[in-house]
Amino acid sequence: MKVTYHGHSVVTVETGNHQLIFDPFITGNSLTDLKPEEVKADVILLTHGHNDHVGDTVEIAKRNHSLVVAPNELAVYLGWKGLNVHPMHIGGSHQFDFGQVKLTQAFHGSAYTEEDSQKIVYTGMPAGILLTVEGRTIFHAGDTGLFSDMKLIGELNHIDLAFLPIGDNFTMGPEDAKLAAEWLRAKQVVPVHYSTFPVIEQDPHAFADSLPGGVGKVLEVGESIEFK
């Protein structure tokens, strides 16, 4: 299995039989190495409905006939756009043919902004995603502030790899993310959601170095972690 970071909060997971992508914000993302017309995805996993996470979901899903797994209201909204969706909600898990997905809490907002009509569409609760596939558990925290139930998530799950936002302003900053990493007890922690915009400029290496025991790891755009 290969897990690759593509800037902002975009993460791809390639297994023996499936290609998955988290939060495919590509168009408008100056840091990514992806092009939406080239992305291959059997499954799209969405943490919440903000434009910088939904991103190019509609285009990618229609071209690839992807399954879109998302919090309920966001899934319904995307289903109305003709996508194949599987709605879930916080605390719920489901076993798919590609692996197991469970949604966790995330403390943030969730709404899609239709800029042409100046309309904001409510898309339900934001979430983190626990993906268990090929014997490994990956936690994508989505956009969130620090919350104490991260301790419980760490106690109940053996997390091999966690993606945590560090950008501050809209999410946790580095200090709070450091505490989140401690509570989650993941074997490796990769910072995401930073430096895409000036207001979330951060030094990911300083964050990774602040984590004890070599747990922190910065993935440059296009860089991967492989599990045997």
**β-strand 100-105 against 93-95: which pairing, if any?**
antiparallel
pLDDT above 90 (res 228): no
Q: What is the pLDDT of residue 201?
A: 98
Task: Give per-residue pLDDT as tens, 34-57.
Answer: 999 999 999 999 999 999 999 999
- pTM for this predicted structure: 0.98
- Taking only the tens place, the pLDDT of each residue in 123-136 is 999 999 999 999 99
* pLDDT at residue 67, rounded to an integer: 98
Confidence of residue 110 (pLDDT cuts 50, 70, 90): very high
Q: Provide the b/e sequence for 6-37 (b: ≥16 CB within 10 Å).
A: bbbbbbbbbbeebbbbbbbbbeebeebebebe
Higher pLDDT pick, 228 / 133: 133
pLDDT of residue 109: 98
Average pLDDT over residues 160-183: 98
Other beta carbons within 10 angstroms of residue 132's beta carbon come to 19
Is the domain defined by 2-217 classed in CATH 3.60.15.10? yes
pLDDT confidence of residue 20: 98
Q: How far apart are CA 134 and CA 146, in angstroms?
A: 29
User: 25: pLDDT confidence band, cut at 50, 70 and 90?
Assistant: very high
pLDDT above 90: residue 151: yes
What is the average pLDDT across 91-117?
A: 97
Distance CA 146, CA 2 (A): 28
Give 140's pLDDT tier (boundaries 50, 70, 90): very high
170: number of Cβ within 10 Å: 18
Average pLDDT in the 200-210 region? 98
pLDDT band at 209 (very low <50, low <70, confident <90, very high): very high
Q: What is the mean pLDDT of residues 107-116?
A: 96
Per domain, the residue ranges of the chain are: 2-217
Q: d(Cα 24, Cα 187) in Å, to the nearest integer? A: 25
Q: Tokens for 176? A: 């709070």
